[in-house]
Amino acid sequence: MLYPDDQHINLLRYSSEDAEAVAIAIGIARAPVEKRGEVAVLARTRALLERMHTALVEAGVNAAIAQRRDDFRSPQFLWLAAAFRLASRPLDRRALDTLTGAFNRWFGTDALSDDIAAASEISGRSLLTEWSASIAAMPTDQARTFAAKAKTLGDQPSSFRNFMDEFIAGLPPEGGDDTIDIEEDRAAWNALVRSIGKAVGRDAPLEQFLQELGLRSKEPPVGPNTVTLMTIHGAKGKEFDHVYVIGLAEDVLPSFQSVKAGEQSAEMEEERRNCFVAITRAREWLCLSYADQYRGWAKQPSRFLTEMGLSLPQDPAS
């Protein structure tokens, strides 16, 4: 397993999880306010993040616990993602169900995915093309416009980026109460597009774009100058300039269940992958930490620290 250059890693030991949270919060509070938006604290459990959030707030630092979202909330962006999936996989019934339901919510239409699927079987046309045909008779001009663009997307999946730009340009303007979900999803989508572009290139094909989109959380980015707190699972696909990974102790990371299952178990390998995900979220600087006690129980340093070739501190930091 490859790990970041240890010249850019700090390893800290504390007497307890409270001492760990307070010391890290004080360290972050010393950083310039304008840099805090590129700081993240990662932990395996939400309980550790909540303790960290309390410490940061008490230190006068804006912080937010990011909630992983596996899908978008607004019908507009649910429809967009489903249209992409149908363009890439023309017979995907689940994507058709999502597309049809989202569009019905959006425009008040009453199309039925079962009817569309049945018509597709008879005509031999793709599900997206058949859906577009079912919307073509709708009275709403905007609905017909989006349906026509979706048909073009189905015929030419490689044009998905142009389709995406035209879709976003056609969204309602900002400001109304009914646009809150749209604006959160728009911010999340824009951040995802940037992140995916950095990961696989801006010219990646649609199928690769969708693979990356499926791996990433759909929550909107936190506000400016705000420290992001995330579970390791929720951090997949994201990067920050400065990352703290806390709770690197046996029975925490790796988890008690994986330790019980044994070194050669699938559970331990999954925990090792989780650790790798966490430490590779840092672009410039990484701080790893652990405590001698969690919830009043003595803990040993995580085995993953020695696997990285790091020297363990002799004494807890004051």
Q: Which of 248, 235, 315 is nearest to 287 (CA)?
A: 248
Radius of gyration of the chain (CA): 23
Spell out the per-residue pLDDT of the chain, length 318, in tens: 334 455 478 999 999 999 999 999 999 999 999 999 999 999 999 999 999 999 999 999 999 998 878 899 999 999 999 999 999 999 999 999 999 999 999 998 889 999 999 999 999 999 999 999 999 877 788 889 999 999 999 999 999 999 999 999 888 765 444 567 898 899 999 989 998 998 899 899 999 999 999 988 898 887 789 999 999 988 887 889 999 999 999 999 999 999 999 999 999 999 999 999 999 999 999 999 999 999 999 999 999 999 999 999 999 987
176 backbone φψ class: left, alpha, beta (φ>0; ψ -120 to 50): beta
Q: Which of 244, 235, 247, 192 is nearest to 39 (CA)?
A: 244
Domains of the chain, CATH where assigned? 6-66+223-307 (3.40.50.300), 75-215 (no CATH)
